[in-house]
A and B are shown apart, each in its own frame.
Chain A
Amino acid sequence: MNNQELIDKLKKIVKPYIQNQEAYENLTEETKFIEDLKINSANLVDVILDVEDEFDIEIGDDEMEQMLDVKSSIEIITKKIA
């Protein structure tokens, strides 16, 4: 799976939780979940759980804390599915 495919999958996962439609439509690797997409921290937990289900991986507490933007999330997912 290439980076763009991963970003597309991630984009689909975050969709139900975003509060900023404009930032969502212009989503890039630099997009931050809380600051840009306005996902609240409780819903960010659900994003991570949905990522686990989608990619069939398990995310640890330390990794979850790093997954605050698209880029770092893609890095962690890539490492896990490799």
Chain B
Amino acid sequence: MTNKESYEYILKLLPYTEPFLFVDDLIEVNDMGVLGSYTYSPKNHFYRGHFKNYPITPGVILTETMAQIGLVCLGIHLLTQKENITDQLQIAMTSSEVEYLLPVHPGEKVLVESEKIYFRFGKLKCKVEMRNSEKKIVCQGVISGMMKLPSQQPLSK
């Protein structure tokens, strides 16, 4: 078992809040990847419209969850190895290629696991997959983002 308290600092540095925070728990974080979880509250406003009388978690929200757990949490871990950070990071998702295999219903808990492809020149690229409570893959793909410390030059164009 890993010490969950040791990942508290990552959650604290996440630049998101309700209603757009999609990280509950980090189970494992190391230089090569992250394993974390999130449970979609049935109260989320998007279930009212996606779809009418048939609530399913939108693919963009699944992708965002994969990015927040798989990329941003890993990026914070990697950047804090180099420097002590206290301010909010500058981040931007730059590409995503994801395939969606199964629906995620309101109230479902998902596990997100990422595997670093590279982190060079401020760009983090990862293979990311999401599984449901039956351990079945609900979506998977490759997501990239640019991440910088607050002290570095602003992200250009």
Chain A contacts to B: CB under 8 angstroms: 34, 40-43, 45-46, 48-49, 61, 64
Closest chain-B Cβ to A37's Cβ sits at a distance in Å of 13
B120 touches A (CB below 8 Å): yes
Task: Select from chain A the residue with minimum beta-carbon distance to B146.
Answer: A42
Number of A-B contacts (CB under 8 A): 25
Chain B contacts to A: CB under 8 angstroms: 94-95, 118, 120-123, 144-146, 155-157
| Cα distance, A43 to B123, chains bound together (Å) | 9
- CB pair B120 A42 closer than 8 Å: no
Task: Select from chain A the residue with minimum beta-carbon distance to B94.
Answer: A42
- CB pair A40 B94 closer than 8 Å: yes
Closest chain-B Cβ to A54's Cβ sits at a distance in Å of 15
- Where chain B touches its partner, the secondary structure class is strand
Cβ of A46: which chain B residues have Cβ within 8 Å of it?
123
- CB pair A45 B120 closer than 8 Å: yes
Partner of A41, one of B95, B118, B120, B146: B146
Closest chain-A Cβ to B116's Cβ sits at a distance in Å of 14
| Cα distance, A13 to B51, chains bound together (Å) | 44
Closest chain-B Cβ to A66's Cβ sits at a distance in Å of 12
Cβ of A64: which chain B residues have Cβ within 8 Å of it?
121
Cβ of B146: which chain A residues have Cβ within 8 Å of it?
41-42
Q: 25 A-B Cβ contacts within 8 A?
A: A34-B157, A40-B94, A40-B157, A41-B146, A41-B155, A41-B156, A41-B157, A42-B94, A42-B95, A42-B123, A42-B144, A42-B145, A42-B146, A43-B94, A45-B120, A45-B121, A45-B122, A45-B123, A46-B123, A48-B120, A48-B121, A49-B118, A49-B120, A61-B121, A64-B121
- For the A-B complex with A41-B146, A41-B157 known, give 9 more contacts whose Cβ atoms are closer than 8 Å: A40-B157, A42-B94, A42-B123, A45-B120, A45-B121, A45-B122, A46-B123, A48-B121, A49-B120
Count chain B CB atoms within 10 A of each CB in A41, A43, A61, A64 and give the residue with the most. A41
| Cα distance, A79 to B155, chains bound together (Å) | 28
